[in-house]
Each structure stands twice: as C-alpha cells, then as structure tokens.
Amino acid sequence: MNNALDFRFKMSLGTFTLNTCGEIPIAGVTALFGRSGCGKTSLLRCIAGLEQAGEAYLSLAGECWHDSERGFYLPPHKRDIGYVFQEGQLFPHLKVSGNLLFGFKRTPVEQRHGDFDQVVKLLDIIPLLDRYPAQLSGGEKQRVAIGRALLNHPRLLLMDEPMAALDRGHKKEILPYLERLHTESNIPIIYVSHDLDEVARIADHLLLIEHGEVLAAGPLSEMLARVDLPIARNEEAGALFDTQILQHDETYHLTRVGFAGNELTVSWIDLPVGERVRIRIHAKDVSLTLDPPGPTSILNVLPVTVIEMSAHGRGRMIVKLDLGGVPLLARITQKSQANLDLKPGMQVYAQIKSVALSL
C-alpha cells in the first residue's frame, strides 16, 4: 500500500522473538496494543530505527527506510520521526520554552511563530513556559514533551505509553489533550498502550500484538467488536459508537445521543448539541432479555439480533449483537445463555444502564 507504513521485522531479544509484518495507515492514530512483554516497544524501536532487526523491511509511503536484503538502513535521525517516551525526558537545565524551541530543528525561522502559538495553545502550555522541568507535574512534563515533538514537524509521531508513568489523576488530565491532538493535528501517530480504555478514546486503528507477532489489525471499532480476539476477554471489552449529541435533559442531568438510527440516554455530557462524541459501551454493562421488560430502572432497552457468541473464560460468554447495523457486545454467563437458549439470529433486547456508558 502506498499511503502506509509497511513493515516486516524479525529479530531475537534474549529468549523473545519479534516476528511481525503488516501495514499502518499514515493517518490518524494507530494503537499497538497487547499485554506487557508482547513486543510493542520493540516494534516501535524497529520503526524508529533504534533497533536493527536482522531481517527488516520498512517503508513510509513507498520511501524505503530499511531493507536488510539490500543492506539499506536509514539511521534514526534521518527518518523524520518524533518520539515521546514513557517519561518526558526533557532537558532539566532548560525552561519549558527552551525545551520547546529544541523542537524547531527542522522548521524555517519565518514559520516558527505560528506553529509555536498553535502548539502551546493546543497543549495548554502557556502558563508553564517559564518553569523548569523539575517544577512540572508528570502530566505537564508529558504535554511539553509532546509539544516539543510536534514542533519538530515529524512525518510520524511515535508515542510509547506516554501515560504509563502517570497516576490516575494525571492520566485523566492529559487524555483530553491526546484526544485534541488526534482531531487537530494532521501528524500520523503510532501509540503504544496496554490500556484498552485509553486506546478506545484516542485511536482510529489497532494492531493487536501477541507473543511478538501481529495477531490482527484493522479499524478500531471493528477490532473492538470482534469476539474471536483476546481483546474480547479483557475486563474492559466493549463496542465503540460514533454518536452525535441530540438533546440535554437538565432536570435529570442526562444527555441523549444518536447514531445510525438509534438513540441512547447517557450521563450528562458537557458538550453542545450537534457535537460528535465517541461512546463506549462495556460488554459487562449489557444484559439480555427475551421480552421487552416492564417498568425498569434501566434507561436503554434496545431491540437487537444475536450475531455470534464465543465462550470466554470459565462459565462466561461474549455475545455479539446487531443494533440496527452496528455491533454491540454483551458479556453474560454460560448459564444465562442456556436459560435463554440464545442462538445466532435470535431477536432479543439489550439492556444498557445509562450510567454505564462512558466517554
């Protein structure tokens, strides 16, 4: 594919073997996802050129960066990439402004001003410009590290678990910036993570890595809706919906969102009507019933069709449902599946608590 990063790497690291091949679209955010030690960082380092696999092929939009067969290897500093590591790695002796200016290496002087203003605004860095890294929180350091990488105008931004060293509070603080980056920057990003909720918020594509190999790859919403992949076993498994805000209910502090002819009531979303939001419904928060329930505290009861089922873990099933053309996942017990005698093709009702829906 010409508008992609094509890769093939084979190498051993101690007892571990990385044997990956695939392609990553040069647009949006692609998550490299998998459990700890599966090889995500190794793959990212191969892409950056920091690791030289014995067997390697890498090209960006048809431009070769590494081809071991031809003995061609472009060193990291010639690859035009930005790299944000788990810990920001700022220069401690430079103020934030000085650290950011380091990101201007490749930008002609006359273009620098506009970019700087845009990036510091995007990442809310203005109040931090005069501080030294030691005077920043973990989340602030990461914002500056991201800003510095962006100012370098890379053709590709690699991010290796940029939130891994942050506590829950700081993670929450930085996530909206990563989402903004995703919608407002046109630099393609490859994002390593083992946190499914994080990936679901910011990625467009997903490469699932297992034991050093690419197990599956595709658009995020399709990947999250597959019941044959280990992702479906994850506690946080669930389907993703691109919705639009239809209405707010100020009395009950609820919001109504619409997607593909369906509507859902969710907890209040502080965004104007008409705005698009990504909503995730965790499989564990969806229950199934054969008949429409009578009066119930559950605000969302939607007719669905069973598409397929897969056993996951002891006594548990994951059920893929069709909700007016979009997939929804439900996790139920095998006992419930037997009690309801669920089979593909059956029409049932999915019950989703509105409080269970999260952005």
Where do contacts with ligand ATP occur on this chain (CB under 6 A)?
13-14, 16, 34, 36-42, 194
Compute the distance between CA of residue 62 and CA of residue 69 in angstroms, rounded to an integer. 16
Q: How far is the CB of 166 from ligand ATP (least distance, A)?
A: 15
Pick between residue 37 and residue 62 the one whose CB is nearest to ligand ATP: 37
Pick between residue 34 and residue 82 the one whose CB is nearest to ligand ATP: 34
Pick between residue 80 and residue 210 the one whose CB is nearest to ligand ATP: 210
Identify the DSSP state of 24: E
Q: How far is the CB of 236 from ligand ATP (least distance, A)?
A: 16
Gyration radius (Cα) of the chain, Å: 23
Pick between residue 37 and residue 324 the one whose CB is nearest to ligand ATP: 37
Angle at the Cα of 173 from the Cα atoms of 172 and 176, rounded to 5 degrees = 85
Q: How far is the CB of 192 from ligand ATP (least distance, A)?
A: 6
Residue of 181, 175, 177 lying closest to 193 (CA atoms): 175
Pick between residue 59 and residue 193 the one whose CB is nearest to ligand ATP: 193
Pick between residue 205 and residue 320 the one whose CB is nearest to ligand ATP: 205
Q: How far is the CB of 222 from ligand ATP (least distance, A)?
A: 22
Identify the DSSP state of 196: H
Q: How far is the CB of 32 from ligand ATP (least distance, A)?
A: 8
Q: How far is the CB of 233 from ligand ATP (least distance, A)?
A: 17
Pick between residue 202 and residue 225 the one whose CB is nearest to ligand ATP: 202
Pick between residue 17 and residue 267 the one whose CB is nearest to ligand ATP: 17
Q: Angle of helix 168-184 relative to helix 112-122, nearest 10 degrees?
A: 140
CB-count burial class (<10 Å; 0-12, 13-18, 19+) for 257 = buried
Compute the distance between CA of residue 27 and CA of residue 305 in angstroms, rounded to an integer. 34
Q: How far is the CB of 39 from ligand ATP (least distance, A)?
A: 4
Determine contact, residues 214/208, Cβ cutoff 8 Å: yes
Residue of 200, 201, 228, 204 lying closest to 216 (CA atoms): 228
For 13, 104, 123, the CA distances from 138, given in Å and listed in that order, are: 30, 23, 14
Angle at the Cα of 305 from the Cα atoms of 301 and 308, rounded to 5 degrees = 125
Pick between residue 39 and residue 138 the one whose CB is nearest to ligand ATP: 39
Compute the distance between CA of residue 87 and CA of residue 255 in angstroms, rounded to an integer. 37
Q: How far is the CB of 50 from ligand ATP (least distance, A)?
A: 11
* Four-point Cα dihedral 204, 215, 63, 157, nearest 10: 40
Q: How far is the CB of 287 from ligand ATP (least distance, A)?
A: 33
Identify the DSSP state of 359: -
Compute the distance between CA of residue 140 and CA of residue 135 in angstroms, rounded to an integer. 9
